[in-house]
Amino acid sequence: MSTASERPLPQPRRAPAWLASTLVAIATLVAVVSVFSTWVRVAALDTDAWVSMTDELLQEPEIQEALSAYLVDQIFQEIDALTAEVADGLPVDLQGLAGPLTSVLRGPVTTWIEQFVGSEQFRTAWLTSNRVAHQQMVNILRDENGPLISTAGGAVTVDLGPVVRTIVDQLGFSGNVLDELPPDAGVFTLFQSEDLATAQTAVQVLDFLAWFLLLVVVAFYAAAVYVSAGRRLTVLRNVGLSLIGAGVFVLALQAIAVRSVLDAIITDPRDRSIAYVAAYVGTGLVRQIAWSGIVYGVLIGGFALLLGAQQWAVTTRRFVTPAFNASPGMVAAGTVGLVVVLLWWSPGRAFEDWATGLTVIALIVAAVVALRRATAREFGPVAIAEAAE
């Protein structure tokens, strides 16, 4: 008769297969949503990202052409002032020609402005104006008013006035023309203050979602692996495949959405080229995060296969055993080096927030510990020469 100590230990109950599949599906759906919420948050609230995007836009010929046309319109908006300036330099009998002569100036001025817009001097002024304006907008949205921030007047604006005045000055017009330019020359409104409360609430939601959604994704994927006793490697591989699928889906959705939206709202064929350039540059972060998700998926799926029973996986584990079991210090140093590389790269902006950054680091450490334990349990201490042989 068997004793109690000889009885087999009870096996953990295996959760139904549909539960793990459901958790993986929910996590993948949330991951897709988090891509677009992160994109909106960064595009709206990250000044460095905004300045980088506007700098990239400024390098596009279509954008330079459109911006040049805008600046020319701003300069010639006060046509009466320019006409008076020309008339002052003509004899009395010829002052009637001031209007036509001013119109003739438009061609050379346009050419000069197009060259100026492509210059480093304009680029510096452009980036400075965008940085100041965007930081002002972010401070207002986050209710962090400072000495340069004011909601008086009921609007948040971008001011290209200094750029317009620089161009007028370099064209050689007198100070009278500069004095007669309207105070709002080159100024356009981003939004009216009656929308400010709603915008500030939206910012709070986006700041929360930036880290919360990633934690939800990680928690649901981890739960799917945890409840899949006996087939965890299969579920872990499915997690990797799901991330790859989510990345491909986001890339396809971004391309289709940009084309569909622009085709619906752009009626003038002359505006189509610049609209597509702006949309492509503006959604660059979406593509970056999507490709990061694909890379993460490949790494997770590859890790699951590496822990599998295939002959190549066993051989690989045997080969890396000395590196993983030589000393805890070496393993820790290698892990720290990997984290430093990821901090520098910051794929998918995962390290922009402390919560998401710590989550990714924890996953890396868990993967290293799991592989170290697996190799130690499977092969024990193996010398480097023995592994090579």
What residues does each domain of the chain span? Answer: 39-199, 212-388
Mean pLDDT of the chain: 75
pLDDT reported for residue 237: 93
Beta bridge partners of 187: 159
Q: Which long-range contacts (CB under 8 A, 24 or more apart) does 13-22 make?
A: 13/229, 14/228, 14/229, 14/230, 15/227, 15/228, 15/229, 17/228, 17/231, 19/224, 19/227, 20/224, 20/225, 20/227, 20/228, 20/235, 21/224, 21/238
Vertex 313 angle, CA 312 and 319, to 5°: 90
> Which 3-state string (H, E, C) describes 232-300?
HHHHHHHHHHHHHHHHHHHHHHHHHHHHHHHHHHCCCHHHHHHHHHHHHHHCHHHHHHHHHHHHHHHHH
pLDDT at 149: 44
DSSP label of 220: H
Residue type, 369: V
Compute the average pLDDT of residues 212-241: 89
Q: What pLDDT is stored for residue 140 in this prediction? A: 74
What does residue 326 show for φ and ψ, rounded to 5 degrees?
-60, -50
Tens of pLDDT, residues 119-141? 888 888 878 877 877 777 777 77
Would you give the DSSP letter of residue 352?
A: S
208, amino acid identity: F
What whole-number distance in Å separates Cα of residue 191 and Cα of residue 133?
13
Apex CA 114: angle with CA 108 and CA 116, to 5°?
Answer: 100
Of the pLDDT bands very low, low, confident and very high (cuts 50, 70, 90), residue 29 is very high
Q: What is the mean pLDDT of residues 160-186?
A: 64
Maximum Cα interatomic distance, the chain, rounded to a whole number of Å: 129
DSSP SS3 for 155: strand
Out of 35-39, 158-162, 219-223, 369-373, least confident range: 158-162
As a whole number, mean pLDDT of residues 210-233 equals 87
% of residues, the chain, pLDDT over 70: 67
Q: How far apart are CA 328 and CA 324, in angstroms?
A: 8
Q: Is the pLDDT of residue 73 over 80?
A: no
pLDDT tens by residue, 327-357: 677 778 888 888 888 777 766 566 666 666 7
